[in-house]
């Protein structure tokens, strides 16, 4: 503001003094109060008395202002419940303190600042939480990736173990088939086959437990005789039942039908249920009854064993659990796996039991009836390239296919197979999925590049992964699992040569 | 006592002078003065504590900094206060310290890394402190190291 008249200056001062509250203190060189003047008589601060020494709080301000060339202002100082601005004028010899009550302005600004700071702190907390959330998400993703990797490793392990076990068992079963052909009057080859099925079932039980929760386990439906299955079950457990002095009966109705179902899984279910019934029955009877009606196979396994307490019914399906005292035989996996398999096959399982009287397990599995499709196997002609890294399998199926009238070229690797394919005209190629230098799908892709109209049949012992998406559109006619159902193999090869 | 807002300066004074703690956050605008006698080994010393409003030299709003400047000129010692769970407040406290030393003079200073009770959120990096500044990890909530920190500064000032 430029220079104003004395009248105007007086007016401004008078107006200011009407609206604002001031205390003016004059001090001497020893910081003793010489005079106290108040703009408003009813406003005073304790300790500000003429002749007394300045209180500590205000004295310390004088030190801060001691060398200042110009008046110094100390804003928003809390003094006895008021907020004041303190103006220090003068020097160490004589000073004036002008105390201006700014409590009202302070309160307004303090309220605004409080809100601003609270908002700012909330924003910081939110940012910190977001950052923490991001870190947690990152960790979650990492763990998910680890879990996926672990799951993939587990699947690879199961596939590998399944292949390792199935291949030699398939070889034994195939040779037993051959022996049966050569010795039609002997029961020995059939016993060998039954034992192989049993061994395969035990292995599959363990693998089934390992693959629990996996969705992509494929079923391998084949055609088989229900009578033969019932006969095998009877023969397999006959000795064991007799050793315990139990009556053992296997019946089926109607007679003479073929069904379509995953035979290996069905045998697993039966072996698990029957061996369980025999294990827990000390006297009396164990009976198995098959009934086929409306494309459903009903199986009833009944025993006169000690039965199951109602509270234990659900527990018997828990893995590694044996209900009742003194039960130590078996791995405790049979019923767990049986229920898993039945569920996977789209079936149902019911248990009824009376403690002290016995138990009855009832299974219903979708299972179409096949009529008149399995008896005739007329001779075939043509050349088949069979590729497998298992020499026993190669030798076995060379004999089997030659018996069907086919010429068989065998190879044990992709490299060898490609060389053989250049020399021999092989319209049908049967290959194992797992080869030493790659896999069967790769081999068939190579061969189709050279001869697009070849028909491929893929064999695998892994039994885990559903390969449908992988083999789609690659000229692969069928995907068969070890042990190979000879009748099914015959049909696929015959259809391949017939151009079906 | 200087530092960013919300680090607990007023709570530390309240704990040290009145042995009290209030959970509610009440921001300081301007300056509050409190006093307490420190029984220093040489002789008792009266600490006149200027609890200043939160200021951060790296913030765009320079008004708090302007308000506390006149008070800082008269200080004999500096209590830098930071929130051990908010690294930005350590930077703010050290910024205030360097500003002070550049503009006025070198005076004794200590750093209180407050809220030490929040152990799971603790993110204080001691390596950023200059050697001249002693560190105290404090909690106004449970009183951890509060007495020790003020006494240490009192001893230093008493020895000058």
Residue of B89, B8, B20 lying closest to B51 (CA atoms)? B8
Enumerate the domain spans of chain B: 9-159
Give the neighbor-by-neighbor strand order of the sheet with B109-114. Answer: B78-83, B109-114, B134-137
Partners of B53 on chain A (C-beta within 8 Å) are 76
Per-domain boundaries in chain A: 6-101, 219-370, 383-498
Question: Chain B partners of A79 at a C-beta cutoff of 8 Å?
Answer: 33
Q: Can you tell me whether residue A309 is helix, strand or coil?
A: coil
| A91-144 pLDDT, tens digit each | 777 889 999 999 999 999 999 999 999 999 999 889 989 999 999 999 999 998
Give me the pLDDT at residue A464, please. 47
pLDDT > 70? residue A329: no
Taking the whole predicted model, whether its pTM rises above 0.90 is answered as no
Q: Which fold would CATH assign to domain A383-498? A: Rossmann fold (3.40.50)
| Cβ-based burial of B46 (10 A; exposed 0-12, middle 13-18, buried ≥19) | exposed
Q: In chain A, positions 83-122, which contact chain B (CB-CB < 8 Å)?
A: 83, 106, 109-110, 113-114, 117-118, 120-121
Q: Say if residues B140 and B14 touch (Cβ distance below 8 Å).
A: yes
Tell me the pLDDT tens digit for each residue of B40-89. 888 899 999 999 999 999 998 899 998 998 888 888 999 999 999 999 99
Superfamily classification of domain B9-159: P-loop containing nucleotide triphosphate hydrolases (3.40.50.300)
Task: State the fold for domain A6-101.
Answer: Beta-Lactamase (3.30.450)
**A58-81: per-residue pLDDT in tens?**
888 887 777 677 888 999 999 888
ipTM: 0.90
State whether B31 and A109 contact (CB < 8 Å).
no
**Cα separation of A380 and A120, whole Å?**
86
- Write down the mean pLDDT value for chain A: 86
CB pairs under 8 A between A and B: 66
A77–B contact, CB cutoff 8 A: yes
What local confidence, expressed as pLDDT, does residue A463 receive? 58
- Is pLDDT larger for residue A497 or for residue A190? A497
A120 contacts in chain B (CB < 8 Å): 5-6
Interface test with A, best of B6, B27, B87, B118 (most A CBs within 10 A): B27
Residue B50's CB: how many other CB atoms inside 10 A? 23
Task: Round to whole Å and give the CA distance between B104 and B107.
Answer: 9
**Residue A125, min C-alpha distance to chain B (Å):** 10
Q: Which of A57, A65, A77 sits opposite B30 (nearest CB)?
A: A77
CATH architecture of the domain covering A219-370? 2-Layer Sandwich (3.30)
């Amino acid at each position: 503001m430029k220079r104003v008249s004395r009248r105007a200056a007086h007016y401004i001062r008078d107006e200011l003094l009407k609206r604002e509250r001031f205390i003016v203190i004059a001090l001497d060189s020893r910081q003793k109060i010489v005079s106290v003047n108040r703009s408003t008589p009813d406003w005073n601060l304790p300790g500000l008395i003429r002749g007394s020494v300045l209180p500590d709080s205000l004295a310390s301000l004088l030190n801060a202002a001691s060398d200042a060339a110009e008046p110094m202002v100390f804003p928003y100082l809390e003094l006895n419940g008021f907020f004041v601005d303190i103006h220090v004028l003068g020097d160490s010899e004589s000073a004036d303190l002008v105390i201006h009550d700014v409590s009202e302005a302070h309160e307004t600004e303090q309220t605004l600042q409080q809100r601003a700071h609270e908002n700012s702190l909330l924003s910081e907390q939110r940012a910190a939480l977001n950052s923490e959330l991001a870190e947690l998400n990152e960790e979650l993703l990492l763990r998910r990736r680890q879990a996926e990797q672990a799951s993939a490793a587990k699947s690879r392990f199961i596939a590998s173990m399944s292949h390792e076990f199935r291949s030699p068992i398939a070889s034994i079963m195939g040779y037993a088939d051959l022996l049966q052909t050569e010795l039609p009057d002997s029961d020995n080859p059939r016993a060998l086959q039954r034992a192989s099925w049993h061994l395969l079932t035990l292995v599959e039980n363990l693998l089934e437990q390992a693959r629990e929760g996996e969705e992509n386990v494929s079923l391998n439906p084949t055609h088989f005789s229900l009578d033969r299955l019932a006969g095998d079950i009877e023969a397999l457990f006959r000795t064991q039942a007799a050793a315990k002095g139990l009556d053992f009966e296997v019946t089926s109705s109607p007679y003479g039908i073929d069904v379509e179902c995953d035979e290996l899984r069905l045998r697993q279910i039966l072996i698990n249920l029957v061996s369980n019934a025999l294990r827990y029955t000390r006297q009396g009877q164990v009976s198995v009854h098959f009934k086929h009606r409306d494309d459903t196979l009903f199986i009833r396994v009944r025993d006169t064993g000690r039965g199951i307490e109602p509270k234990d019914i659900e527990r018997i399906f828990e893995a590694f659990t044996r209900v009742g005292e003194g039960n130590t035989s078996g791995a405790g996996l049979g019923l767990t796996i049986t229920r898993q398999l039945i569920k996977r096959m789209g079936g149902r399982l019911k248990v009824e039991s009376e403690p002290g009287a016995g138990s009855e397990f009832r299974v219903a599995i979708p299972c179409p009836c096949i009529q008149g499709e399995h008896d005739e196997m007329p001779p075939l002609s043509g050349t088949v390239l069979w590729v497998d890294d298992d020499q026993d399998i190669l030798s076995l199926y060379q004999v089997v296919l030659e018996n069907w009238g086919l010429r068989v070229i065998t190879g044990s690797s992709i490299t060898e197979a490609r060389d053989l394919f250049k020399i021999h005209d092989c319209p049908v190629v049967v290959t194992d999925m797992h080869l030493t230098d790659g896999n069967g799908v790769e081999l068939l892709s190579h061969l189709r590049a050279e001869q697009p109209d070849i028909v491929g049949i893929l064999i695998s012992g892994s039994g885990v992964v559903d390969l449908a998406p992988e083999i789609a559109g690659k000229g692969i006619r069928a995907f068969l699992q070890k042990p190979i159902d000879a009748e099914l193999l015959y049909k696929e090869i015959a259809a391949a040569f017939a151009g079906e | 006592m200087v530092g960013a807002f919300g680090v607990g300066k007023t709570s530390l004074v309240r704990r040290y002078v009145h042995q009290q703690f209030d959970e509610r956050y009440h921001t300081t605008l301007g300056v509050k003065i409190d006093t307490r006698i420190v029984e220093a080994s040489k002789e008792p010393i009266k600490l006149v504590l200027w609890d200043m409003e939160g200021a951060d030299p790296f913030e765009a709003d320079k008004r708090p900094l302007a308000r506390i400047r006149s008070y800082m000129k008269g200080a004999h010692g500096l209590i830098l206060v930071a929130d051990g769970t908010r690294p930005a407040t350590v930077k703010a406290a050290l910024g205030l310290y360097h500003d002070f030393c550049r503009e006025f003079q070198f005076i004794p200073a200590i750093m209180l890394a407050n809220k030490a009770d929040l152990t799971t959120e603790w993110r204080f990096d001691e390596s950023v402190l200059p050697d001249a500044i002693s560190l105290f990890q404090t909690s106004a909530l449970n009183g951890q190291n509060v007495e020790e920190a003020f006494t240490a500064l009192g001893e230093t000032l008493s020895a000058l």
